[in-house]
Amino acid sequence: MSIYIRQGIIGDISCYIKARSPIGKYTIEGYYNVDTETFIARGQKIYLREFTRADVDEWVNWPPHVDPLFQDYNPPRLSPLERDIWYIEHASRSDMMLFAIADEDGKLIGRLFLRQVDRSKKSAVLGIDLRSDKLDKGYGTDALQTFARYYFEVLGYKVLRLDVAAFNRRAQRVYEKVGFIYTGEHWSSYPPPYFSEVFSEDKYENIRGYFRRTGSGISVKHYDMELTRDRWSERQKYEG
Ligand SMILES: CC(C)(COP(=O)(O)OP(=O)(O)OC[C@H]1O[C@@H](n2cnc3c(N)ncnc32)[C@H](O)[C@@H]1OP(=O)(O)O)[C@@H](O)C(=O)NCCC(=O)NCCS
């Protein structure tokens, strides 16, 4: 269990938490003070906190995606030492920011990372992925809406960019709901065996046009998307 509960002090933030103790003897439920050192923001179904070394241990044990098109999002197999190295390499980079998406039990259900963080231009590129058994339950929309508010209103950033595979309609739908607009497209290459089933299985016929065979593997069409602070603020006026 990787939630941080301690006696409240002035400035602590109250979160609704339902959790079983590490030895499973009792359950706690109610509003508790979450460690302000890691807490970032609270949504309706999730809260955001800093991504810690302990989160790497949870992440590498996530179940794999059933859909082979999402195998790129399966966590890698890492030894404890490799997890240390992974964490240090990612957390220490000045052009990255790592956030954990936690459910009301404090359980890690997703990762939200910023790369190409430019503190002078106030821009960054977003990446998000959830546990494979937590998709399509509204967590992603809630996490992104919560994060956008924090990014624009608290951090004061001006633009958030991302790219998304053309076949990934679910992710596009979520980005559209939060207010991202399409700004362009490009193709990205993947080495074998990524996406090879797209050309051999009939069920992928309707999305095959988003894939091209290249000399060294397969190229996948991606859309570029962007959300500006101005657009975010404008939408808040109408959505309350
Ligand atoms: C992308 C992701 C973060 C979205 O989070 P989520 O919690 O699954 O999404 P939500 O449940 O909040 O919303 C999904 C929306 O997409 C819609 N949707 C789902 N599958 C869809 C499909 N095949 N076509 C169109 N819309 C679809 C849902 O109906 C819902 O929209 P609605 O609220 O208007 O009904 C999550 O699915 C994920 O981590 N996927 C794997 C990794 C990934 O794709 N990352 C993004 C890379 S750019």
pLDDT (tens digit, 9 = 90+) per residue, 190-232? 999 899 999 999 999 999 999 999 988 999 999 999 999 999 9
Residues 92 and 136 in one domain: yes
For the Cβ of 140 lying below 6 angstroms from any atom of ligand 1, the answer is yes
Pocket perturbation via mutation, ligand 1, pick of 73, 173, 223 by most ligand atoms within 8 A of CB: 173
Angle at Cα 67 formed by Cα 62 and Cα 73, nearest 5°? 45
Residues 128 and 217 in one domain: no
Q: Is the CB of 113 under 6 A from ligand 1?
A: no
Report how far ligand 1's centroid is from the alpha carbon of 87 (Å). 27
Gyration radius of the chain's alpha carbons: 19
Q: Is position 124 within any domain?
A: yes
Which atom in ligand 1 lies closest to the alpha carbon of residue 110? 39
Is residue 49 included in any domain, yes or no?
yes
Is there a domain that residue 31 lies in?
Answer: no
User: 155: Cβ–Cβ under 8 A, 6 or more apart, which residues?
Assistant: none
Which domain covers residue 200, as residue numbers? Answer: 164-230
Final residue belonging to a domain, choices 92, 125, 157: 157
Number of other residues whose CB lies within 10 A of the CB of residue 94: 7
Do the beta carbons of residue 3 and residue 34 sit within 8 Å?
yes
What's the rounded mean pLDDT across residues 17-41? 57
CA 130 / ligand 1 centre spacing (Å): 10
Q: Which of 157, 179, 206 is the last residue of a domain?
A: 157
d(CA 138, CA 82): 32
Global confidence as pTM: 0.88
Q: Which atom of ligand 1 is nearest to the CA of 137?
A: 11
